[in-house]
Amino acid sequence: MMEAGVHFGHGTRKWNPRMAPYISTKRKGIHILNLTRTARFLSEACDLVFDAASKGKQFLIVGTKNKAADLIARAATRARCHYVNKKWLGGMLINWYTTETRLHKFRSLRTEQKTGRIHSLPKKDTAILKRQLSHLETYLGGIKYMTGLPDIVIIVDQQEEYTALRECITLGIPTICLIDTNCDPDLADISIPANDDAIASIRLILNKLVFAICEAILVVRNPQTIPTFGQNFFEYVLEFIRDVSKTQIGEEYGPWVPFVGTMFLFIFVSNWSVALLPWKIIQLPHGELAAPTNDINTTVALALLTSVAYFYAGLSKKGLAYFGKYIQPTPILLPINILEDFTKPLSLSFRLFGNILADELVVVVLVSLVPLVVPIPVMFLGLFTSGIQALIFATLAAAYIGESMEGHH
């Protein structure tokens, strides 16, 4: 908790006296929360959501801070909860009939868009409906499958979501609140004292609650099944690939996660596969690695696939207007400019191939020096080098896609 900064509160001038029992000390003008109490109330909250999820109760997670919006959406999606992460519309729960009407309209518009009926209307009507759909997606996208009032509401930052909290109190809906030193701990059913400004702190608290919900759902569906190391590992890899994609591509990274992830996993698995076969490693001084990406033809093929993705990203974002940059400063340069961009990702193949050759050289030297002992160390060496090679290629591929979507650089 200390590594995530959960214990940091607000300045000593900006605090609620009712939070005194949850504060251990003050340091450099900042209140420091008592993590013993935080752990106790977090444990109580996890027990509550576990029991509720076991009985099939519905959860709503509310957190509309811009920097935490994606975190809220991902956490809610993992736990199959409803969420609000953009803006709380006043009366969303109290005036449920109105909200339900908006949700019905939202579902109808989404159906029309999927079937293509929305595009058969006059351009003006189509534009109006698209704006309505975009607006509804922004504010109601996280509760589009909610058919009634939630059984438990999890609120991140009591001060920011005070309206939502008051609606829950009015309706008698149990609430779990993440509260900082400027909040009132008596308003929520379970208040978890923690830093509500740091992303790491919010992520830690949400992950604990989400894990409890997921565990309960898993036990109900299959009492013999518990999360395995493999499941946790692949979840970590997916989160890592999402972060790489978002960093390089931007907010519209979602559709490109499968592409970047496939690139990363193909290169990583294929290059490390040979390290799992020690007898091939022992024969290395007389041969080559068996990994597919040690072949320059394979790496060039991956680079050309990235080139296709590069142009597809630009065209899907801007349409034919994307080619406008290629006729600058004169239309005569159109084919040359296109060829330049198409061959740009080829540098990926040479970088990757160079790394693989260096990897082979290291392995050959090690095998020559200690041929009987080297297989096990080389397996770990292969794991490390394969990860670096895969990360280089996937990161650069995502960077090219991001460049294409933003414009010519």
Task: Taking residues 284-303, report their average pLDDT.
Answer: 58
Task: Taking residues 7-26, report their average pLDDT.
Answer: 79
Is cis: bond before 329, omega within 30 of 0? yes
Residue 209: is it exposed, middle or buried by C-beta count within 10 angstroms (0-12/13-18/19+)? Answer: buried
Beta strands in 63-215 (DSSP E): 82-84, 152-156, 175-179, 190-193
For residue 284, the model assigns a pLDDT of 45
Contact assessment for residue 290 and residue 408, using Cβ atoms and an 8 Å cutoff: no
Pair of tokens at residue 171: 């309706």
The per-residue pLDDT for range 176-218, each reduced to its tens digit, is 998 888 888 888 888 888 887 888 888 888 888 988 888 887 7
Return d(Cα 188, Cα 314) in angstroms, integer: 48
What are 339-344's contacts with CB under 8 Å, separation 24+?
341/307, 341/310, 341/311, 341/408, 342/307, 342/310, 342/311, 343/307, 344/307, 344/310, 344/400
For residue 383, the model assigns a pLDDT of 67
For residue 28, the model assigns a pLDDT of 78
Per-residue pLDDT at 226 exceeds 60: no
The per-residue pLDDT for range 234-288, each reduced to its tens digit, is 777 777 788 888 888 877 777 888 888 888 888 777 766 655 554 444 444 444 4
Contact assessment for residue 289 and residue 360, using Cβ atoms and an 8 Å cutoff: yes
Instruction: Provide the total of helices (H) and of strands (E) in the chain, helices listed first.
Output: 13, 8
Per-residue pLDDT at 220 exceeds 50: yes
Q: Using DSSP bridges, classify how beta strands 152-156 and 190-193 pair: parallel, antiparallel or unpaired.
A: unpaired
The per-residue pLDDT for range 24-72, each reduced to its tens digit, is 888 878 888 888 888 888 888 998 988 888 888 889 999 888 888 888 8
Among residues 44, 47, 32, the alpha carbon closest in space to that of 1 is found at 32
Per-residue pLDDT at 225 exceeds 50: no
Among residues 291, 237, 296, the alpha carbon closest in space to that of 265 is found at 237
Pair of tokens at residue 288: 């080559």
H or E, element range at 25:
strand 23-27
Contact assessment for residue 187 and residue 165, using Cβ atoms and an 8 Å cutoff: yes
pTM confidence score: 0.55
The per-residue pLDDT for range 307-363, each reduced to its tens digit, is 888 778 777 777 777 777 777 777 776 777 777 777 777 766 665 555 555 555 555
Per-residue pLDDT at 84 exceeds 80: yes
